[in-house]
């Protein structure tokens, strides 16, 4: 465990098993230095338990960084359930997971994620109070993550292209799920041209029909000539194979852990491609969770998410002065905040 390539001083990693319900889960707490660890509960049919551990470790660390870069009073955590949500999900299994979370005594607050829903959180709340999605506003659809990515893009386009409008810019968007598609709607409304990719042809057909998007294949999207590449699907898509294929100046998207390895940030920079840290661009969810406890009106939530634009602008300005990449600057800011005395 302590020699795992994704281990980063995580405070705790819990392996949970409940034979009665079939629950097999991992909970990773990266840091509670700034507050309780916040992060979603993912349910996915991992081929190997080692893949689940890697996911939990990486995603928990990312949550710490999201909260810290946005100066929110949370740490980072993640839970993963090794199961197929279409086949294995049951109220009993969800309650068993809720009991695991309750046993952590408030050190970890969970949320919905890949394979879990707000309805699943409601079942968990039968046995634990430590979940997101408990307010009335949380039950209303509001694409906060997509809006946060839009804010990051807005700041980056202003910095690198000296433009406040998207008309005449071309965006290559990978992934048209719950974040990617609303992001495309925002971009289209702002006059951007779109080329999109998704493994589901129904989604790309919808984008072509409703948003006049061009469609590229899952591999071809990397080689599309565009101004911005927005990864909004899987992680680790920026790697030794794909970085040389990119024909953009800027990468800014919603996917978690977009870099296969940290060195790929340097590889992008060597090619003249700026990378907006993914943990900043996709921080809308944790901002939303925090804001709903203060003022849960949709307009107040979206206004709070707009801080992503200001933080991104400041980050890019600092990087321009120091000659570092935006990710290097962001990582340093986060580490300083985590280490600072409370």
Per-residue pLDDT tens over the stretch 297-311: 999 999 999 999 999
Where in the sequence numbering do the catalytic residues fall? 78
Q: 6-15, 63-72, 236-245: which has the minimum mean pLDDT?
A: 6-15
pLDDT tens for 85-129 read: 999 999 999 999 999 999 999 999 999 998 999 999 999 999 999
Using one digit for the tens of pLDDT, what is the confidence trace for 261-281? 999 999 999 999 999 999 999
pTM for this structure? 0.92
Q: Is the dihedral of CA 170, 171, 176, 179 positive or negative?
A: negative
Position 136 scores a pLDDT of 52
The answer to whether residues 255 and 231 touch, using CB atoms and an 8 Å cutoff, is yes
Mean pLDDT in residue range 196-207:
97
pLDDT digits (tens, 9 = 90+) for 74-83: 999 999 999 9
Band of pLDDT at residue 141, cut at 50, 70 and 90? low
């Amino acid at each position: 465990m302590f020699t795992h390539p994704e281990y980063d001083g995580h405070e705790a990693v819990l392996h949970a098993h409940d034979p009665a319900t079939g629950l097999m889960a991992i909970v990773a707490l990266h840091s509670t230095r700034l507050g309780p660890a916040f992060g979603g509960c993912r349910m996915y049919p991992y081929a190997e338990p080692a893949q689940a551990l890697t996911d939990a470790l990486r995603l928990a660390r990312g949550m710490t960084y999201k909260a810290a870069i946005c100066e929110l009073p949370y740490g980072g955590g993640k839970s993963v359930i090794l199961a197929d949500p279409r086949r294995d999900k049951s109220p009993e299994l969800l309650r068993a997971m809720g009991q695991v979370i309750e046993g952590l005594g408030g050190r970890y607050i969970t949320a919905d994620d890949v394979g879990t829903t707000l309805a699943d959180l409601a079942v968990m709340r039968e046995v634990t109070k430590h979940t997101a999605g408990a307010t009335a506003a949380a039950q209303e659809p509001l694409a906060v993550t997509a809006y946060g990515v839009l804010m990051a893009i807005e700041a980056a386009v202003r910095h690198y292209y000296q433009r406040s409008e998207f008309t005449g810019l071309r965006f290559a968007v990978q992934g048209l799920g719950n974040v990617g598609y609303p992001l495309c709607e925002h971009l289209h409304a702002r006059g951007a041209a779109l080329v999109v990719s998704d493994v589901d042809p129904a989604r790309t057909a919808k984008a072509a029909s409703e948003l006049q998007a061009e469609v590229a294949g899952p591999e071809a999207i990397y080689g599309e000539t565009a101004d911005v590449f927005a990864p909004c699907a899987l992680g680790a898509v920026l790697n030794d194979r794909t970085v040389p294929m990119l024909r953009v100046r800027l990468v800014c998207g919603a996917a978690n852990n977009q870099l296969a390895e940290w060195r790929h940030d340097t590889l992008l920079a060597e090619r003249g491609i700026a990378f907006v840290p993914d943990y900043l661009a996709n921080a809308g969810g944790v901002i939303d969770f925090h804001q709903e406890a203060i003022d849960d009106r949709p307009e107040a939530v979206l206004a709070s998410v707009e801080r992503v634009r200001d933080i991104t602008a400041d980050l890019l300005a600092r990087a321009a002065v120091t000659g570092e990449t935006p990710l290097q600057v962001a990582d340093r800011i986060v580490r300083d905040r985590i280490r600072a005395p409370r």
